[in-house]
Amino acid sequence: MEEIVHNGELLAIIVRRDYSSPGVHFFTPHEFSQQLGYMQHSAGKHIQPHVHLPVQRELTYTQEVLFIRKGKLQVDFYTSEQTYVESRILEAGDIILLASAGHGFQALEDLEMFEVKQGPYSETVDKVRFDGIEPTDAVIKDD
Protein backbone atom coordinates (compact mmCIF):
# COMPACT_ATOMS: atom_id res chain seq x y z
CA MET A 1 0.00 0.00 0.00
CA GLU A 2 1.33 3.43 -0.93
CA GLU A 3 0.08 6.91 -0.12
CA ILE A 4 0.83 9.74 -2.54
CA VAL A 5 1.20 12.89 -0.41
CA HIS A 6 2.19 16.38 -1.56
CA ASN A 7 2.69 19.23 0.91
CA GLY A 8 0.74 17.31 3.56
CA GLU A 9 -2.25 16.64 1.27
CA LEU A 10 -3.20 13.03 0.53
CA LEU A 11 -3.60 12.82 -3.25
CA ALA A 12 -4.10 9.07 -3.64
CA ILE A 13 -3.87 5.63 -2.08
CA ILE A 14 -2.52 2.80 -4.22
CA VAL A 15 -3.06 -0.84 -3.30
CA ARG A 16 -0.90 -3.12 -5.44
CA ARG A 17 -2.19 -6.42 -6.76
CA ASP A 18 0.03 -8.44 -4.44
CA TYR A 19 -1.27 -6.80 -1.21
CA SER A 20 -2.33 -9.42 1.31
CA SER A 21 -3.18 -9.28 5.00
CA PRO A 22 -5.56 -11.39 7.09
CA GLY A 23 -8.69 -9.75 8.47
CA VAL A 24 -10.30 -6.43 7.60
CA HIS A 25 -8.25 -3.33 6.79
CA PHE A 26 -9.51 0.07 5.69
CA PHE A 27 -6.93 2.34 4.06
CA THR A 28 -8.99 5.53 4.16
CA PRO A 29 -9.63 7.84 7.09
CA HIS A 30 -13.16 7.59 8.58
CA GLU A 31 -14.08 11.06 7.28
CA PHE A 32 -13.46 10.23 3.60
CA SER A 33 -16.60 10.19 1.47
CA GLN A 34 -15.25 7.12 -0.34
CA GLN A 35 -14.06 4.23 1.83
CA LEU A 36 -11.50 1.73 0.51
CA GLY A 37 -10.97 -1.49 2.42
CA TYR A 38 -9.56 -4.99 1.98
CA MET A 39 -10.83 -8.22 3.50
CA GLN A 40 -9.22 -11.63 3.70
CA HIS A 41 -11.11 -14.44 5.44
CA SER A 42 -10.70 -18.19 5.66
CA ALA A 43 -13.31 -20.47 4.13
CA GLY A 44 -16.30 -20.76 6.43
CA LYS A 45 -16.01 -17.23 7.86
CA HIS A 46 -19.52 -15.93 8.51
CA ILE A 47 -20.28 -12.29 7.90
CA GLN A 48 -23.57 -11.45 9.56
CA PRO A 49 -26.30 -10.27 7.17
CA HIS A 50 -27.03 -6.57 7.44
CA VAL A 51 -28.70 -3.61 5.74
CA HIS A 52 -27.37 -0.11 5.38
CA LEU A 53 -29.61 2.61 6.76
CA PRO A 54 -30.31 5.85 4.93
CA VAL A 55 -27.89 8.47 6.24
CA GLN A 56 -27.76 12.07 5.06
CA ARG A 57 -24.18 12.94 4.09
CA GLU A 58 -22.65 16.13 2.76
CA LEU A 59 -20.22 15.68 -0.12
CA THR A 60 -17.62 18.33 -0.90
CA TYR A 61 -15.21 16.60 -3.32
CA THR A 62 -15.63 13.70 -5.72
CA GLN A 63 -13.27 10.84 -4.94
CA GLU A 64 -12.73 8.03 -7.45
CA VAL A 65 -11.57 4.43 -7.17
CA LEU A 66 -10.04 2.75 -10.23
CA PHE A 67 -9.65 -1.03 -10.53
CA ILE A 68 -7.16 -1.95 -13.27
CA ARG A 69 -8.42 -5.11 -14.95
CA LYS A 70 -6.01 -5.33 -17.89
CA GLY A 71 -3.02 -3.38 -19.21
CA LYS A 72 -0.95 -0.54 -17.76
CA LEU A 73 -2.05 2.96 -16.79
CA GLN A 74 0.14 5.96 -16.04
CA VAL A 75 -1.46 8.21 -13.41
CA ASP A 76 -0.20 11.79 -13.29
CA PHE A 77 -0.83 13.72 -10.06
CA TYR A 78 -1.41 17.47 -9.93
CA THR A 79 -2.04 20.00 -7.19
CA SER A 80 -5.41 21.77 -6.97
CA GLU A 81 -3.65 24.65 -8.73
CA GLN A 82 -3.00 22.30 -11.70
CA THR A 83 0.77 22.01 -11.11
CA TYR A 84 2.28 18.63 -11.96
CA VAL A 85 3.63 16.65 -8.96
CA GLU A 86 4.65 13.12 -10.06
CA SER A 87 3.37 9.93 -11.72
CA ARG A 88 2.85 6.25 -10.98
CA ILE A 89 2.32 3.20 -13.19
CA LEU A 90 -0.59 0.89 -12.35
CA GLU A 91 -0.89 -2.65 -13.69
CA ALA A 92 -3.62 -5.27 -13.87
CA GLY A 93 -4.88 -6.01 -10.37
CA ASP A 94 -3.83 -2.66 -8.88
CA ILE A 95 -6.39 -0.35 -7.24
CA ILE A 96 -6.14 3.40 -6.66
CA LEU A 97 -8.29 5.80 -4.68
CA LEU A 98 -7.92 9.33 -6.03
CA ALA A 99 -8.51 11.36 -2.90
CA SER A 100 -7.92 15.01 -3.79
CA ALA A 101 -6.42 17.58 -6.15
CA GLY A 102 -5.93 16.77 -9.85
CA HIS A 103 -5.00 13.78 -11.95
CA GLY A 104 -4.57 12.72 -15.55
CA PHE A 105 -4.07 9.39 -17.26
CA GLN A 106 -2.16 7.78 -20.11
CA ALA A 107 -2.92 4.22 -21.26
CA LEU A 108 0.49 2.59 -21.71
CA GLU A 109 -1.03 -0.67 -22.97
CA ASP A 110 -4.50 -1.69 -24.08
CA LEU A 111 -6.46 -0.96 -20.93
CA GLU A 112 -9.55 -2.19 -19.13
CA MET A 113 -10.53 -0.66 -15.81
CA PHE A 114 -13.51 -0.04 -13.57
CA GLU A 115 -14.21 3.35 -11.99
CA VAL A 116 -16.33 3.92 -8.89
CA LYS A 117 -17.23 7.42 -7.68
CA GLN A 118 -20.04 9.23 -5.95
CA GLY A 119 -23.07 10.26 -7.93
CA PRO A 120 -25.07 11.71 -9.32
CA TYR A 121 -22.43 12.98 -11.74
CA SER A 122 -22.74 16.32 -13.55
CA GLU A 123 -20.36 16.90 -16.48
CA THR A 124 -20.82 20.68 -16.24
CA VAL A 125 -20.08 21.23 -12.53
CA ASP A 126 -18.06 18.21 -11.39
CA LYS A 127 -14.68 18.90 -12.98
CA VAL A 128 -12.41 21.43 -14.68
CA ARG A 129 -10.25 20.12 -17.50
CA PHE A 130 -6.76 21.56 -18.05
CA ASP A 131 -3.64 20.90 -20.12
CA GLY A 132 -1.25 18.60 -18.31
CA ILE A 133 2.23 17.33 -18.96
CA GLU A 134 3.32 15.38 -21.99
CA PRO A 135 3.63 11.67 -21.11
CA THR A 136 7.38 11.81 -21.79
CA ASP A 137 7.78 14.50 -19.11
CA ALA A 138 6.48 12.30 -16.28
CA VAL A 139 8.54 11.77 -13.14
CA ILE A 140 7.68 8.19 -12.26
CA LYS A 141 8.74 7.11 -8.80
CA ASP A 142 9.55 3.49 -8.04
CA ASP A 143 7.68 1.61 -5.34
The answer to whether residue 13 sits within a structural domain is: yes
Q: How far apart are CA 85 and CA 88, in angstroms?
A: 11
Task: Residue 76: give its domain's CATH number.
Answer: 2.60.120
The answer to whether residue 29 sits within a structural domain is: no
The answer to whether residue 36 sits within a structural domain is: no
Number of structural domains found in the chain: 1
What's the mean per-residue pLDDT of the chain?
92
The answer to whether residue 108 sits within a structural domain is: yes
The answer to whether residue 48 sits within a structural domain is: no
Q: Which amino acid is at 21?
A: S
Domain extent at residue 91: 1-18+61-143
The answer to whether residue 26 sits within a structural domain is: no
Give the tens place of pLDDT for each residue, 86-132.
Answer: 999 999 999 999 999 999 999 999 999 999 998 888 777 888 889 99
SS3 for the chain, per residue? CEEEEECCEEEEEEECCCCCCCEEEECCCCCCCCCCEEEECCCCCCCCCCCCCCCCCCCCCCCEEEEEEECEEEEEEECCCCCEEEEEEEECCCEEEECCCEEEEEECCCCEEEEEECCCCCCCCCCCCCCCCCHHHCCECCC
The answer to whether residue 116 sits within a structural domain is: yes
What pTM value is reported for the model?
Answer: 0.89
Give the tens place of pLDDT for each residue, 133-142.
Answer: 887 777 777 6
Q: How many angstroms separate the first and last alpha carbons of the chain?
A: 9
The answer to whether residue 94 sits within a structural domain is: yes
Q: What are phi and psi of 69, to 5 degrees?
A: -95, -35
